[in-house]
Amino acid sequence: MSVTLTAALFFALVCYVAAMALALIRLLRGPTAQDRVLALDFLYVNGLLIVVALGISFSTTSYLEVALLIALFGFLGSAALAKFLLRGEVIE
Amino acid sequence: MNELLPPWLEGIVVALVVASGLLSLVAAIGIMHLKDFFQRLHAPALANTLAAWCSAVASIAYIAGATGRPTLLPIVLNVLLAITAPITTALLARAALFRRRQAGDDLPAPLSTTQVE
């Protein structure tokens, strides 16, 4: 892997981590509960992007399967939280 | 593992990876700085669509170039995101409307002109 690509991957990882930090500020500060769920949703998408970038960096497809699992379970988590905000209970 | 890609392919991968990082950062700045919840709701769509597609195409291009075997897993990943992200957004928007109505705060103007009780 060339120096340019390594530098680009490092830059992207720094960007993702900065984005996660900003979302974490919103999650901690967020005036309402739905703001926090939105920030959590954004956090898992960024974690997924980090895993994909690491998969490029190690040039393996195993990380992509991990990213698939993160997408599935992250959606389950945010959907359950949003449903809880809507109804007060997750399973009716 | 340490195979070098042809320069044009590497240029594409570098541009897509950098674009993905910047787009995700823009989405985070949107989440941080927009005023209202219903405005903030739009910001993560940038990360869910453009940033995810950029990194998916970059990883397809890089893995195909480096290992010689193309993979379609990133496409599956993005299809999954494209299915699930709107569901989360719609549920959150309904929850926010419901909670604001219960709290008696001011709601955004209705889209249709017909009055809904």
Domain boundaries of chain A, sorted by first residue: 12-87
What is the enclosing helix (H) or strand (E) of B61? helix B52-67
Q: How far is CA B55 from the centre of its chain?
A: 11
Domain that holds residue B18: 7-103
Q: CA–CA distance from B81 to each of A17, A92, B22, B27, B57 (Å)?
A: 20, 26, 19, 16, 15
Number of domains observed in the structure of chain B: 1
Q: Which residue has the higher pLDDT, A66 or B114?
A: A66
Q: What is the pLDDT of residues A62-89, one digit of tens each?
A: 899 999 999 999 999 999 999 898 887 6
B117: pLDDT strictly greater than 60: no
pLDDT at residue number B48: 92
Q: Taking CB atoms and an 8 Å limit, are B28 and A38 in contact across chains?
A: no
- This model's pTM is above 0.95: no
Place of tokens 């700085």: B33
Q: What is the pLDDT of residues B72-100, one digit of tens each?
A: 999 999 999 999 999 999 999 999 988 88
Closest CA to B54 of A20, A24, A8, A79: A8
A21: pLDDT strictly greater than 80: yes
First-to-last CA distance in chain B?
63
pLDDT at residue number B69: 84
pLDDT at residue number B115: 57
Q: State percent of chain B over pLDDT 70.
A: 93
Chain A residues near residue B10 by CB distance under 8 angstroms: 2, 4-5
Residues 6 or more apart in contact with residue B74 via CB below 8 angstroms:
A52, A64, B55, B56, B57, B59, B60
8 Å CB contact between B57 and A51: no
Q: What is the pLDDT of residues B20-40, one digit of tens each?
A: 999 999 999 999 999 888 899
Residue B24 within a domain: yes
Residue B110 within a domain: no
Residue B2 within a domain: no
Least reliable range by pLDDT among A21-25, A79-83, B49-53, B113-117: B113-117
Taking residue A70's Cβ as centre, other Cβ atoms within 10 Å add up to: 19
Size of interface A-B (CB pairs under 8 A): 172
Residues 6 or more apart in contact with residue B27 via CB below 8 angstroms:
A19, A42, B43, B44, B45, B46, B47, B51
Across chain B, mean pLDDT equals 87
pLDDT at residue number A30: 78
Residue B116 within a domain: no
Mean pLDDT of A47-64: 91
Return residues 38-77 of A near B (CB < 8 Å): 38-39, 41-42, 45-46, 48-49, 52-53, 55-56, 59-61, 64-65, 67-68, 71-72, 75
Residue B71 within a domain: yes
pLDDT at residue number B1: 47
Residue B17 within a domain: yes
Place of tokens 């997924």: A48
Residue B53 within a domain: yes
